[in-house]
Structure 1
Amino acid sequence: MAPAITLAAEAPKLSAANTGFMLICSALVLIMTPGLAFFYGGMVRVKSTLNMLMMSFISMGIITILWVLYGFSLAFGEHNGLIGWNSDWFGMGHVGLTALWPGYTIPVFVFMVFQMMFAIITPALISGALADRVKFSAWCLFITLWATIVYVPVAHWVWGADGWAFKLGVIDFAGGTAVHINAGAAALGVILVIGKRVGFKKDPMRPHSLPLVMLGAGLLWFGWFGFNAGSWLGNDDGVGALMFVNTQVATAAAMLAWLAYEKIRHGAFTTLGAASGAVAGLVAITPSGGAVSPLGAIAVGAIAGVACAAAVGLKFRFGYDDSLDVVGVHMVGGIIGSLLIGFFATGKGQSTATGVFYGDHTWTQLWKQCAGVGAVLAYSLIVSAVLAFLLDKTIGMRVTEDEEISGIDQAEHAESAYDFSGTGGGVLGSAAHAPALAAAQTRKVDA
């Protein structure tokens, strides 16, 4: 995503085709956040559905404003290897309509808004680990601080023209480190601070709506083509097409691998497993899809599907309450996808860098990938934990135990996702059918 070096005589001109393509890709990435909201919303209990939806939706408001004001300038301006700055991009008030992103044929505005959608979904990913127990006001403040202190610097490291990881040669096509490891490590840091849900490992905490989960997974899969293929910023050399193909291939392989693992381990093919496996594949191919072949993408997806399926159970072994498996899918999947570049990179995609299986006998690229993965994981985990600790000790991160038990939707939003009262005038709306209403209420999946 960083600018290419172009000679003055070869200065690019605005391409209407690439500009239009990138605007479409930006919209596809945006739809991933509502898709994530449905994915997470279906996985929680009835009493937490709206809160889960809102934790994603609010990111579209907060991150949009801070990205325009200063986030984009800090992430993609040139200053040093750790953070960027460009005063002309503060508030985007000094950018010409046709000013091009350096080395490309799309306007700065288009690149800015495309990257905005990445900045929006990354903190939203964290929310799945915190289901049922976080104050909405604290969450809003947390993602504001986290995006500023964690996401923006990491995006600069990985994608900024003078970012240290970019200059080192760390490959991250569309966000394995900057998005998924970043969010997964942050989730782990926060849950270690705020603790477990009431009833963790004791009460049933099953998804209340698997159809919503499948809808969300489908929207994520659809939007991810913009997320991945769009990250090449154009269609001029076929690399974006390779990434598009690899996105589909790896996702399919991961879904099948997860289901196979699940059948062998637990004796059933579940819809939740299919949805989670697809997301694991999408995560793993995000950093690697521009560097590997379609056969390599099958390997990446299959490895991620099995590894992430195994990793989601670690929370029960080690006792951390990752509510919706953000650590097991996004952190582990991001690590796998990033490191497998060091084995499967062909040198015929986004760069000439090769992996161990394609001639890199010194393991050079693998060590570079390890450096990027380790730095992002450690920085995000530590800083996120510190932020959560400070907020918890000041304004408080968690709702009360009574509010958590009765339902965070009512406590934080004064609403419920489903109306079982029949106030719309249906058969359950009359006093004569009060016994039927009572029976219906007892059948609610509200563990």
Structure 2
Amino acid sequence: MPRHPFAVANFRAYWIARLAATLGQMAMVIVIGWQVYDIARQTMSVKEASFQLGMIGVAQFLPLLALSLFAGWVADRLDRRWIARAAVTLEAGCALTLGLLTYSDAITLPWLFGIAALLGVGRAFAGPALGALAPNLVPKAILPTAIALSAVAWQAGTVIGPALGGYLYAAIDWLPYAVSAGLFLLSLAMLLLITPVPRSARKFGGSPWAQMIDGLHYVRRNRLVFGAISLDLFAVLLGGATAMLPVYARDVLHVGSEGLGHLRAAPALGAVITAVSFSWRPLKSEVGKKMLIAVGIFGLATIVFGAAAPLLLPILGPSAVGSDFAPAVLISLVALFVLGAADMVSVYVRQSLIQLYTPDEMRGRVGAVSTLFVSGSNELGEAESGFLAAAIGPVAAVIGGGIGAILVTILWARLFPELRRARTFDPPATLELPPKEMTT
């Protein structure tokens, strides 16, 4: 029996596929956001352009909202490998289209909004399929490690991808889309290498619609899973500082598109260092408390990032911003590094708890709910940040969001004592649907 997930060829291919796909997705997201804001600023004020930045988040979220339950149901009934392959192929087509439009200088706001929505369709199907596939690839004895590594691949791609996109865009505007297309094709090639995998006996009853919403019922009745998912939703929804990075790069810190790459790289570096540490020294005790503390630190780091420039400008004047080594820029980079590290801790614990406490026949549908919540926190967080920035300004929006994330953490620690009591990742011996009159 293999002693580590990477000793399993199917899992190695899966891990590379998930990392590559997530890198491609996130590299595109940051560039789409920058292009939307940059094009809008040519004819609009900062607040009006921030509103457009919020709307691009809505455009990406609506397909997820409409399709997630169906996608989860499909992931529990059909071959998860082929669902992921089809979704990645769609995303590769989106990347190639945006690359060609940018290269030919034909990119416009309608094109950006339309293809962002198509990317949302691809992500709606890819998320549940890939998330539920990992536990099918390895023996049960090393399943916790496999789930943790899967979460690491997703989170590493989530934070490294935007930094990659920012740097590539600063070099050549169409290059991030070309690289994303290559990453999607690499992901597709790895997915094609995964051989047929065994699945547990599937139990389906009721109408297709009833089966689709079983995932919602399971999450709602399992308070540990519900608390973990909803904590991420509201904390990141409120503390979405990264959604404002194009605004900060251009109009607050004055570091331009190259500086945007540095700002995106900072949380990536924090998350990667944390992920690497977990790969050889995983969390084993008080995992719930550590997740809550990490989300609180996430909110505090968001406040520091948002306040650095406004606090230092009256003291240091223009020298506080405008270059990579300006004091406000350096403090912002450190704050974003801490933010990324804290977010990695939260994601690692949350994804492990969700996967380990969910029966295999439900993982696609529960994964779809998780994808909907996580995407809601990301895309709707972008929208909320954009709309709030349009109303009260980007600095106040970021600082207020960080305060909100801390308050949510305190509230969730009281509403969901199950999170505080989660000491290890060890699941129950038998996983079943919680009865309606009981909680887990």
TM-score if structure 2 supplies the norm length?
A: 0.32
Normalization by structure 1: what TM-score?
0.32
Indicate the structure whose relative CO is greater, using CA pairs within 8 Å and at least 6 residues apart.
2
Greater radius of gyration (CA): 1
